Amino acid sequence: MAFYLNYNTHFFFKFSLLFSLLSFSFSQSDVVEAPSPAADSCNGIFLSYAYSSGTKLKPTDPTHQPYRFESVLTVLNNGDEELKSWKVSVEFQNDEFLVSASNAVLADGTSLPANVGNGTVFAGFPMSDLKTAIETAGDLTQMQVQVQLLGTQFGVAAPDVPLPKNIQLANDGFICPKASMQGKNEMQVCCRKDPKFKANVTVDEEFLPKQSGDLTIMYDVTRTYDSNYWAQVTVSNHNPLGRLDNWKLSFDWMRDEFIYTMKGAYPYVVDSSDCIFGTQGQHYRDLDFANVLNCERRPTIIDLPPTKANDTTLGLIPNCCRNGSILPPSMDPSKSSSVFQMQVFKMPPDLNRSELSPPQNWKINGTLNPDYKCGPPIRVSPSQFPDPSGLPSNTTAVASWQVVCNITQPKGASPKCCVSFSSYYNDSVVPCRTCACGCPSNTARTCSTTAPAVLLPPEALLFPFENRTAMAQAWADLKHRTVPNPMPCGDNCGVSINWHVLTDYSRGWSARITIFNWDETAFPDWFAAVQMDKATRGFQKMYSFNGSALELNGVNNTIIMQGLPGLNYIVGETDGANPKKDPRVPGKQQTVISFTKKNTPGINIAAGEGFPSKVFFNGEECALPSVFPTNNSNREGFTTILSIFLAVFVFIMLHQ
């Protein structure tokens, strides 16, 4: 029998159903923990994760069967303060592959689809702030967000339910007990404010304070119109050992925006075809898309060369156009940031000058630089800039967002540089570790990826790895050592650094550091750093580099170094004098470093205390050998080491 409900009756029915669902309390006799309170009894931030449905997927695999899953993550603010930039941690445990998530993005900047099997953190987008019932008269559309999740999980078949281990609020200043089950398909938790937490922002402040990190990105809207706006992007390096070379910056447009023009940087790909054949072309019918720079949903931005710094069309932006080099502030504060501007066109329904939305899922990287993981954009107080006319006043941005990025070591990632050790008291060099920077995929017939690196004669360091085999075997025969068969694989590093303990006497000692560039890419404005647990306090001077002690996190154990004028450029690897028979020649720089024992009494150089515990090149931590040279009182090697030192010195002098 057909029946009809008028609008008011329909609304009342839906509201009553929602209220009954929120108020309903499940009981589980087989659950040991007390059930989490339902939403109406939670006076904090209420979270729930409810599994909706799932089906078996192809291919059939009894050991790793895939299943589709659909779930809903609910975040409800029942507290007395607005929850700004909400973040929720979901501890997935079934090798989940997330395909889509409504009303949220991944907080680590990863674009969907993505593997989240080890857990992930969701951040709100586009609604990142949740208001209270007090300030909205209980309007759930402003207090609550529901994230519809769709993905693939492995191994959990019906009637079992693929729930995460736990869910909790990831914002600072909250305490969350372990989530408890509500029936078989849902888990809930009520998070409350931590009374011991001291926030650096007052309740009345409109925006969150700016955060600190290894690298920050400011997205400042400087001019806005109904259909487009101008944004200034500032990338600032705050890590004293962090660095970027040839940086590439990427992000996701979430609302079909596109880049019309830019100053101070440029898209890696100039392409407007996605607009021409997409909804943008249908809306902006009179716009000449031949002038549009980029219409990709995820564009990649690169820096301009210095020759474009004063270009009236592309340049004239302070701190732009440095070939993508961002130096650490400890090296040169004036070169520790990079700036560019872009004109962004918007799409309906955002055609209003106050409708502003920053791109999401930011990622930045460079060549032979640390890896960065970036959080979501957080709305902060509008930035202020010096007045362009020179007046003693500041110009305020229309709106500002901050992205905080921190150096991270991805799981399974290999270093990009390595270190070898040698000393005056042992005539063998401890080379870089086997496969220190990774190994080629097919090595079964050519080399061993597990055999330890073979000790080398000092002169072998001047040759590429493929030219060292005969020298290594001859050296092993001379020293009556056996070599593995097959021989170990090389280190496969673009940069290698040799640390040589040069002398040791009653009042001091010295070391020599040599940097080899085995790649064809040169390194302008390079820097290196070493951490020495006991020796740094005795550092005196360097002879060919600028060197100084650097305090990190309150510990004075780091020495940073860079080339003197004329020596701050390491060339790439080049052909030998006769390419048909001579091996390729690496770019190189070296210096001697002197130490005093006055401030480090009892230091035992021969026992290994003259070797660094960490070595960095251009911000990248290098792989160290697992052993030190042994003190066998063999002084014969001093003459050989000295000859290599002189050879490198002469090479540098001849190529200046």
Note the pLDDT tens digit of each residue in 477-525: 999 999 898 899 999 999 999 999 999 999 999 999 999 999 988 898 9
Mean pLDDT of the chain: 88
Mean pLDDT of the region 415-424: 95
- Amino acid 635: pLDDT: 45
Residues 485 and 606 in one domain: yes
- Structural domains counted in the chain: 3
Q: Does residue 337 sit in helix, strand or coil? A: strand
For residue 8, name the pLDDT band (cuts at 50, 70, 90). Answer: very low
**Closest Cα to residue 420, out of 638, 592, 615?**
615
**Cα distances (angstroms) measured from residue 190 to each of 36, 74, 140, 177:** 7, 12, 17, 7
- Evaluate whether residue 55 is within a structural domain: yes
Higher-pLDDT residue of 638 and 156 is 156
Range 174-195 average pLDDT = 94
198: in domain: no
Backbone angles phi and psi of 140, in degrees to 5: -65, -25
- Are 471 and 392 in the same domain? no
In this prediction, residue 568 carries a pLDDT of 87
Same domain, 421 and 340: no
Which CATH number is 446's domain given? 2.60.40.290
The pLDDT of residue 222 is 96
Residue 632: per-residue pLDDT: 63
How many whole angstroms separate alpha carbon 438 and alpha carbon 436? 6
Residue 499 lies in a domain: yes
Position 558 scores a pLDDT of 95
Q: Where among 162, 193, 224 does a domain terminate?
A: 193
Query: What sign for the dihedral angle of Cα 444, 449, 454, 456?
Result: positive
Verify that 179 and 223 share a domain, yes or no.
no
Per the domain annotation, does 641 fall within a domain?
Answer: no
CB atoms within 10 A of CB 288: 8
Asked if pLDDT for residue 181 goes beyond 80, the answer is yes
Task: Please tell me the predicted confidence (pLDDT) of residue 565.
Answer: 84
pLDDT category of residue 234 using cuts at 50, 70 and 90 = very high
pLDDT reading at 549 higher than 80 = yes
- Is 16 domain-assigned? no
Say what the pLDDT of residue 388 is.
74
* Residue 34 in domain: no
**Mean of the pLDDT values across residues 75-99?**
96
Task: Taking residues 8-19, report their average pLDDT.
Answer: 40
User: Tell me: the pLDDT tens digits for 268-307?
Assistant: 999 999 999 999 999 999 999 999 999 999 999 999 999 9
Kindly state the average pLDDT of the residues 581-608: 93
Domain boundary among 408, 431, 461: 408
Q: Are residues 394 and 425 in the same domain?
A: no
Q: Let me know whether 394 and 480 are in one domain.
A: no
Residues 559 and 587 in one domain: yes
Closest C-alpha to 136, from 78, 85, 187 = 78
* Whole-number percent of the chain with pLDDT over 90: 74
User: What pLDDT, on a 0 to 100 scale, did the predictor assign at position 200?
Assistant: 57
Averaged pLDDT, 256-273: 97
Q: Is residue 8 part of a domain?
A: no
Q: CB of 515 within 8 A of CB of 494?
A: no
> Which of 366, 387, 408 is the endpoint of a domain?
408
Which tops the pLDDT comparison, 633 or 346? 346
The reply to whether 171 and 52 lie within a common domain is: yes
Tell whether 288 is covered by a domain.
yes
pLDDT at 592 over 50: yes
Least confident residue range of 70-74, 359-363, 388-392:
388-392
CA distances from residue 429 to 62, 420, 453, 528, 632 in whole angstroms, order as listed = 51, 7, 10, 21, 13
Instruction: Note whether 489 and 574 are same-domain residues.
Output: yes
Backbone CA torsion sign across 606, 610, 614, 615? negative
Displacement of CA 221 from its chain's centroid (Å): 25
395 and 428 in one domain? no
Domain that holds residue 325: 215-408
> Sorting pLDDT into bands at 50, 70 and 90, what band is 24?
very low
Residues 427 and 392 in one domain: no
Same domain, 120 and 187: yes
